[in-house]
Chain A
Amino acid sequence: MLNAKIPAGPLNSKWEDYKGHCKLVNPANKRNLEVIIIGTGLAGASAAASLGELGYKVKAFCFQDSPRRAHSIAAQGGINAAKNYQNDGDSVFRLFYDTVKGGDYRAREANVHRLAEVSGNIIDQCVAQGVPFAREYGGLLSNRSFGGTQVQRTFYAAGQTGQQLLLGAYSALERQVALGNVKMYSRHEMLDIVKIDGKARGIIARDLVTGELERHFGHAVLICSGGYGNVFYLSTNAMGSNATAAWKATKNGAYFANPCFTQIHPTCIPVSGDHQSKLTLMSESLRNDGRIWVPKKQNDTRKASDIPEEERDYYLERRYPAFGNLVPRDVASRAAKERCDAGFGVGTSRQAVYLDFAAAIERYGSIEVGKRQLTNVSKEDIIKLGKEVVAEKYGNLFDMYAKITGENPYELPMRIYPAVHYTMGGLWVDYELNTTVPGLYSLGEANFSDHGANRLGASALMQGLADGYFVLPYTIGNYLADEIRTKAISTDHPAFVEAEKSVQDIINKFMTTKGTRSVDYFHKKLGKIMWDKCGMARNEKGLKEAIEEIKALRVEFWKEVRVPGEAKEFNPELEKAGRVADFLELGELMCMDALNRRESCGGHFREESQTEDGEAKRDDDNFSYVAAWEYKGYGQYELHKEPLVFEECKPTQRSYK
């Protein structure tokens, strides 16, 4: 039976109580305790810095050439915190409630409440580090709205919030590197976990420049390796984002939770052709001001500017008057798909809808006219002023759109379509962020913990930093306090030798297969199966087919993959091969999980389970649980259930009408 180790007592005092009673490690002992951290995104960098400050000996790993390049850098829109600086009724409880509801009642209340409690500290910490958040003229911090909420609690730095937060965490990390508390291993990829007597005790990593395998010991190992959206090949993730670290953890006994919960983000630049290597997000913050519409007429080929106002269908505002364009992502994505499937899509592919700023530009322009007390202003001048305001808020996003599409979004509405963006599923962790393997922890997007079946915008940055700055530094002490007598274990231990050998065997297999097809060929094929059959809508037949197709593709992969170059050199194709091999296993598990969950919830939409007006229909009687899958050998898994108990947020049919 899975034990989430949720502390007893009322929800709003659990964390206080836990902190008051968990074990502590004294400073002298901390110096002898080694912690390995895989990943230097928001979760890993914040954990590495904080643990280094506490005095632990930390080794941090990332596959990029610098910790500053983790994919957290690409986050655009913002980070939530229950500061209530806007005096608009926000509170810890509301942030907690919105997150549980937004996640369609598939998250663990105690974890989410803790997240909301520490959210304010994150903003304080980041500001103290010199993160240049957007400010008002009075010098105080500015906020905006994100989907699924009715308050303004999102802090931001133009469209580069992730970059600024990550650079803050990165500089804290580098400071600890200088102080000798953290040793940084860039261009290193973790390829296996080493377990001794059932506990995580180290890793095998490949130096990506020399190709040499290395053994590293740690009293504990933290997996902060980000999400697995790249199973779909095309996603808003970086090219290198992968599941390998989490998957090796799974193969070493950590359960994988809710693998099928993927988030399809409604506003991305549509696919333009087969050459496409990744999809680019247009931040949700744009839905603060942009209005989404399609023509009222099917297959309307007129230019957007030629379609008069009364012939436009602002379908989100029509269907969801209470939240309008700011409904949660899963709802907005399905609504876009529904319109396009019904023949109302725009652009050459007809797989796009408009995101239009004309009204916002005019509104902001008029506000400026008022602010500056201008008189006799022409319409053009108003538009010009409005464009300046929009440029200040979203300039970098508009530039990005223009570069990719060659169109000017200040003049024409953007064309957007949903794309894979985030994975709510991940390594199962208990309240302490411990996986089912003692000493093996998981933080950030790599774990499953806080977002249920759908993540609200601006909550991933919050979660990554909460885990790394304010949660794990406490909870890991509770484990390491009992490890102070464990001396560093020699990496000649048979468990290290064996783990290294199994990694070497896989590399040898890649190098000697000498097949006929590139790694990308298989990745694209897998991505297509996943998108078609385990994407925005899923059904039993499709999922069963997908499982068979993935199995077959896996067989072909191991027979036909071609990895050029050598193992003992800088070899990006070899890196990709390992990652795709793991995606080929995880993809199958995602489909199995989706097949098992015969309900719709959040981003998981089973066509068999919908309301009359096409909304997701949950089945709380049968599926109010976390599905945690145990690896039982190649392609075999056993399902464990963690029942979800709701004390504060009573599950109801989610409504944004």
Chain B
Amino acid sequence: MEHYNMNLTLKVWRQKNKNDQGRFETLQAKDISSEMSFLEMFDVVNEQLINDGKDPVAFDHDCREGICGSCSMHINGRAHGPWDGTTTCQLHMRAFNDGDTITVEPWRAGAFPVIKDLTVDRTAFDRIIEAGGYISVNTGNAQDANCLPVDKNDADLSFAAASCIGCGACVAACKNSSAMLFVSAKVSQLALLPQGHPEKQSRALNMVAQMDKEGFGSCTNTGACEAECPKEISLTNIARLNREFIGAGFSSEK
């Protein structure tokens, strides 16, 4: 792999706190190596800002290996930037060229208020899980794990749905700020497993109700969420959620 260095212009969203109006600020990123990750590029920019006596750009990040779901930058109009199936922290600078201008914004969604700069509040997701994203089993209740064989295909589909990292890119990518992909991934993971069956309908109802309460928009099937999801969670999960939800609507009338 050939490496190169580049100079870039960044247009970064700066917002002091949730009450501040916010605005774009233009920053220069100098001598950026193509081997850096996007966040390492921000480390360089922040180091410079600190040395210049200015306030560094605040952004969420932790594992920097694409799994914790903290990082959340909207880059040139795309959640997590130009590479498919990739979080911001795994995006590398070889995706860019010398002289590029890059626009970086936080997730934009009413249910994700900005805390500072590129950092948003995603606790709404925790509250949706609280509403039913679990199997009700206390510690100590379990039987031997192999007493419950699971069809391999179902297990694989369940795993694929469970790989959601809860980053919120699906919401940021959706013109309605819908959280359907997130909710459906959890509902599917559990509905596909025999352990999850007893609660599958109440789970769907309660999670969707909480989603609405948090102010996420409705799903109009544009598929932008799937396209931007760094874990490539499939839209078929939304179809499955709809089935569970409608089924639950009928049976809860009995």
**Which residues of A come within 8 Å of B, CB atoms?**
46, 49-50, 53, 64-69, 71, 73-74, 83, 85, 120-121, 123-130, 132-141, 157-158, 160, 163-164, 167, 170-172, 174-175, 177-178, 184, 186, 209, 238-240, 272-273, 275-278, 280-281, 399-400, 403-407, 469-470, 473, 518, 520, 562, 564-565, 569-573
Contact = CB atoms under 8 A, between A and B. Distances in A.
B40 A238 contact: no
Given A139-B151, A171-B134, A69 B145 contact: no
Nearest to B49: A564
B139 A49 contact: yes
Contact of A124 (B55, B145, B163): B145
Interface residues of B, number: 80
Name which of A184, A209, A276, A403 has the most chain B CB atoms within 10 A of its CB: A403
B68 interface: yes
B50 A564 contact: yes
A128 B133 contact: no
Given A277-B43, A570-B116, A139 B142 contact: no
B240 interface: no
Contacts of B68: 64, 69, 71, 73-74, 238
B150 A128 contact: no
Contacts of B130: 174-175, 177-178
A66 B139 contact: no
B103 interface: no
B67 interface: yes
A443 B251 CA distance: 44
B223 to A, nearest CB: 22
A50 B47 CA distance: 43
Interface string B78-103: 00000101100011101000000000
A128 B150 CA distance: 12
B214 interface: no
A46 B139 CA distance: 9
A275 B1 contact: no
Given A69-B68, A129-B137, A178 B131 contact: yes
B39 to A, nearest CB: 7
B96 to A, nearest CB: 13
Contact of A403 (B70, B86, B121, B141): B86
B69 interface: yes
Interface stretch (B6-14, B188-196, B241-249): B188-196
Contact of B134 (A67, A68, A129, A273): A129
A69 B69 contact: yes
B190 to A, nearest CB: 5
B65 A275 contact: no
A403 B143 CA distance: 41
A276 B145 contact: no
B252 interface: no
A157 B152 CA distance: 13
Contacts of B122: 65-66
A286 to B, nearest CB: 15
A323 B55 CA distance: 53
A570 B119 contact: yes
Contacts of A186: 123, 126
Nearest to A136: B152
Nearest to B159: A132
A404 B162 CA distance: 24
A65 B123 contact: yes
A160 B129 contact: no
A470 B142 CA distance: 12
Given A120-B144, A186-B126, 12 more contacts: A66-B123, A127-B145, A129-B195, A130-B190, A132-B158, A139-B152, A141-B146, A275-B44, A400-B65, A518-B51, A520-B47, A564-B49
A177 B155 CA distance: 28
29 contacts: A46-B139, A49-B139, A64-B62, A64-B70, A66-B69, A68-B126, A127-B148, A127-B195, A130-B158, A132-B155, A132-B193, A135-B155, A137-B152, A139-B155, A171-B129, A172-B139, A174-B134, A239-B61, A272-B35, A275-B35, A275-B43, A276-B40, A277-B43, A404-B90, A405-B1, A473-B139, A564-B56, A569-B116, A570-B115
B121 A53 contact: no
Given A157-B159, A275-B36, A238 B64 contact: yes
